[in-house]
Amino acid sequence: MEDEETILRKMRRLTDYYDIHKEIGRVENSGEIKFVTKHMECTAYQEVEELPLNITKPLQDKVALEMSRAIMHCSVSNLQCSIRCNVILPSEHFEICSEGFYRKLVIQQVALDDEGTYSVQYGKHTCSAKLTVEAQSLLMVRELKSVEVVAPDEACFECEVSVSVLKSSVWSLKGEALQHVPKVSLEKMGKVHRLTLRQTYVDMSGLVEFTSGKAKISAPCQE
């Protein structure tokens, strides 16, 4: 009969156990794993299969206020894969980032021009959602004043709005939109907008209008 010390020694050998844990298995980690001790060695083969590429939570329609930050996001099935936002490249205005299984498109200082449908491609899968941008409430802080000049002197019109506007505003004379050319200067200085007619003539007499979003003001120009 075996003595008590021999039995205990055998039990200790039988309960010796070694394992290895990997938090995240990657496809490139597939291969042979070998365990070696002083008196023995053993091998096993690890095969890591890639998770199927799926969009587990698609993009959702979103409404954002002009000049705010808009975040559109979806979740995916595989941590290691990236997404592609159609026609969008990362910039100061657009940021594409990953947080775990979430893939995000962050739009800084949303402009009215950013409104539209956004799509994400992930493997063979695509999802889309619409971003609606609501214009900020725009008030006229300082109205246009009538200007009377003698041709060919300059005529200058200036107004101030309540918020800085990203989208271009429109100046018009007698109903026709004005463009920035050598004889017509269109300036924007924060909330202040200025129109300068550098060389006037008699036929330029008429109503000058400034339009920004839904706000519109006017004043006569008289030669």
Q: The domain that contains 204 carries what CATH number?
A: 2.60.40.10
Cα–Cα distance between 85 and 96 in angstroms, integer?
A: 8
Residue range 161-177: mean pLDDT, rounded: 83
CB atoms within 10 A of CB 221: 21
Q: Is residue 97 part of a domain?
A: yes
Residue range 16-21: mean pLDDT, rounded: 55
User: pLDDT-derived band of residue 123, with 50, 70 and 90 as boundaries?
Assistant: confident
User: Percentage of the chain surpassing pLDDT 90?
Assistant: 29
Q: Is residue 119 part of a domain?
A: yes
Q: Tell me: do 70 and 125 sit in the same domain.
A: yes
Amino acid found at 58 = P
Cα–Cα distance between 213 and 137 in angstroms, integer?
A: 9
User: pLDDT-derived band of residue 14, with 50, 70 and 90 as boundaries?
Assistant: very low
Q: Which of 76, 108, 134 is the last residue of a domain?
A: 134
Q: Is residue 16 part of a domain?
A: no
Q: Is residue 90 part of a domain?
A: yes
The residue with tokens 């909330």 is: 191
Q: Tell me: do 115 and 164 sit in the same domain.
A: no
Look up the domain containing 198 and give its range: 140-222
Which distant-in-sequence residues (6+ apart) come within 8 Å of 40 by Cβ? Answer: none
Q: Which of 134, 157, 179 is the last residue of a domain?
A: 134
**pTM (predicted TM-score):** 0.52
Q: Is residue 88 part of a domain?
A: yes
Q: What residues form DSSP beta bridges with 220?
A: 207
Q: Is residue 150 part of a domain?
A: yes
* Residue of 194, 131, 192 whose CA lies nearest to 165: 192
Select the more confidently predicted residue: 46 or 96.
Answer: 96
What's the confidence (pLDDT) of residue 11?
Answer: 43
Which distant-in-sequence residues (6+ apart) come within 8 Å of 162 by Cβ? Answer: 137, 138, 139, 140, 141, 191
Cα-based distances in Å from 147 to 8, 150, 155, 206? 108, 10, 7, 10
Number of separate domains in the chain: 2
Q: Tell me: do 78 and 125 sit in the same domain.
A: yes
User: pLDDT-derived band of residue 50, with 50, 70 and 90 as boundaries?
Assistant: low
